[in-house]
Amino acid sequence: MAPTITAAMSHSQEHHTLSHKLRKPLVEKQRRERINSSIEQLKSLLGPEFLKQQPDSKLEKADILEMTVCFLRSLQHQHGALSSAAVDHGYSRCVQEMVNFMSKQEVKPQTQRRMLNHFNNLRDADFSALSSSIQTNNKKEKSPGCSALWRPW
């Protein structure tokens, strides 16, 4: 009885291995199709960016991916600039509200001036630190291939 169980298990393992060998090329083909489809979608989404580079040359998949990374980094940089402008606007609005509140309260003008100077000093220190950190991050993110496509020839 024991040899029959071993033979049955061996047959099951062979069937599993054969099934895996037959399925593997199909799964790999589907994976390549997904990659190619996504790259084509990126190419169509970034159409105007491609025309800026080399309109007559055929773009390789690596070119499309590099251009996508550069485009997303430029969007990220623009978003960072907009965010710091929004922070600046919000800070200014907050200081205006504070001045408005203090003018309605019985606060000495000298105290108001000291508080305004304090907030302005804080703002200058915070924004200079913020802008330097943004510049540092942008320098780190710069990629050598963002200005032009890399070609080995």
The predicted structure's pLDDT at residue 144: 46
Q: Which helix (H) or strand (E) holds 140?
A: helix 109-141
Q: Map out the domains of the chain as residue ranges.
A: 79-148
- List, as one string, the DSSP characters of 101-135: HHHHTT--HHHHHHHHHHHHHHHHHHHHHHHHHHH
Instruction: Kindly list the averaged pLDDT for each block of 10 residues, start to end, along the chain of length 153.
Output: 52 74 89 94 81 70 89 83 77 84 82 83 67 52 56 56
The predicted structure's pLDDT at residue 29: 94
Q: What is the pTM of this model?
A: 0.47
Whole-number Cα distances in Å, 94 to 22, 107, 109: 67, 18, 19
